[in-house]
């Protein structure tokens, strides 16, 4: 019986593990507005299944902000390997496509705010990002992690009315 259990676990892990993370898709999912075609200010929160078997249990979320008439979005996310390299956990970059696959997993749009409401909330979100208390820490469980970061922003800017999925493990760390 023990032999069968081991074989089952090996097959399950092998069958469900994704390919090399470096080769996994990072293509745009076609969810986000194209900046050159939409001059409004935009705030969007995304989440995608974590890479490999972790995706069975957890998601990786991020925030995309586009100022009014901007040609790119500013994307903010927390990444564990940043901390391991002695950098801030918060990774920020500019892109016209903030809805890229998270290493093979298609993102889900959690929240989208456009127009005047976004114009009013963007400075509040940026201020909350600047005050994130765990910039030098990262722990998959119980947190702080990428879900903690997005939950923290939601708590600091309650006007967002952000709801994270059940699989946002570590989101309760911010409470």
Nearest to 97 by CA among 29, 38, 43: 29
**88 found inside a domain:** yes
**pLDDT tens track for 80-107:** 989 999 999 999 999 999 999 987 889 9
Q: What average pLDDT score do residues 19-47 get? A: 83
68 in a structural domain: yes
5 found inside a domain = no
DSSP 129-171: HHT-TTTT---SSSSSSHHHHHHHHHHH-GGG-----TT-TTG
Q: CA 95, 18, 138 angle in degrees (round to 5)? A: 60
Strands 108-114 and 59-66: unpaired
**Total-model pTM:** 0.85
Work out how many domains the chain is built from and give that number: 1
More confident residue, 167 or 125: 125
DSSP 102: B
Asked whether residue 6 is domain-assigned, the answer is no
Contact 112, 106 (CB under 8 A): no
Q: Quick check: is 91 in a domain? A: yes
18 located within any domain = no
pLDDT of residue 3: 57
Residue among 151, 129, 154 at smallest CA distance from 74: 129
Identify the residue with better confidence: 53 or 7: 53
Residue 15 lies in a domain: no
H or E element in which residue 66 lies = strand 59-66
Q: Which residues of 88-115 are buried (b: 16+ CB within 10 A; e: fewer)?
A: ebbeeeeeebbbbbbbbbbbbebbebee
Host domain of residue 111: 24-174
Answer yes or no: is 34 within a domain.
Answer: yes
d(CA 140, CA 155) in angstroms, rounded, equals 20
């Amino acid at each position: 019986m023990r032999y069968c259990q081991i074989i089952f676990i090996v097959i399950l892990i092998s069958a469900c593990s994704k390919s090399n993370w470096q080769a996994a898709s990072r293509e745009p999912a076609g969810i986000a507005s194209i900046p050159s075609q939409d001059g409004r200010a935009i705030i969007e929160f995304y989440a995608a299944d974590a890479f490999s078997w972790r995706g069975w249990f957890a998601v990786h979320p991020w925030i995309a902000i586009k100022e009014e008439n901007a040609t790119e979005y500013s994307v903010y996310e927390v990444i564990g390997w940043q901390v391991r390299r002695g950098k801030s956990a918060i990774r920020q970059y500019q892109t016209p496509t903030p809805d890229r696959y998270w290493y093979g997993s298609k993102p889900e749009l959690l929240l989208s705010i456009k127009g005047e409401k976004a114009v009013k909330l963007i400075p509040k979100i940026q201020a909350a990002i600047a005050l994130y208390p765990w910039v030098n820490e990262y722990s998959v469980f119980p947190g702080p992690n990428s879900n903690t970061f997005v939950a923290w922003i939601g708590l600091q800017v309650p006007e967002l009315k952000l709801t994270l999925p059940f699989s946002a493990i570590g989101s309760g760390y911010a409470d």
